[in-house]
């Protein structure tokens, strides 16, 4: 369910391995992410969840804030599945 939800809502911009329009999810979980303000954050479950539900909360360095807030309607189960899928993309 998480992969399907990601493909439907995020794969067009968050292309696996490419990262031209938006950060790639590959290898993201548990890594340090450089933010636009110069700070860093660890991409844990909270970071991934907040990045989906409030895209402006963590602006990744090198990317524009293009993801619309609230444009992606999902149930809590779908959100949990998507977070789990994105966490599984890391070794």
> pLDDT digit string (tens) for 11-62?
667 776 666 788 888 888 999 999 999 999 999 999 999 988 888 889 999 9
Beta pairing partners, 32: 42
Strand 40-42 to 32-34 pairing:
antiparallel
CB 54 within 8 A of CB 24: no
Domains held by the chain: number = 1
Helices (H) and strands (E) in the chain, counts: 3, 2
Residue 61: its pLDDT value, please? 94
**Any alpha helices (H) in 1-91, and if so which ranges?**
2-9, 45-53, 76-88
The residue range of the domain holding 20 is: 2-88
pLDDT score of 75 more than 60: yes
Alpha-carbon gap, residue 42 to 72, rounded angstroms: 24
């Amino acid at each position: 369910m998480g992969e399907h939800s990601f493909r439907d809502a995020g794969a067009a911009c968050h292309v696996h391995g490419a990262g031209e329009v938006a950060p790639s999810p590959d290898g993201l979980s548990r890594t340090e992410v450089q933010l636009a303000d110069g700070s860093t954050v660890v991409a844990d479950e909270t970071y991934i969840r907040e990045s989906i539900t409030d895209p402006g909360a963590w602006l990744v360095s090198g990317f524009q804030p293009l993801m619309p807030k609230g444009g992606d309607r999902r149930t809590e189960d779908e959100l949990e599945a998507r977070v789990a899928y994105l966490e599984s993309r890391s070794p």
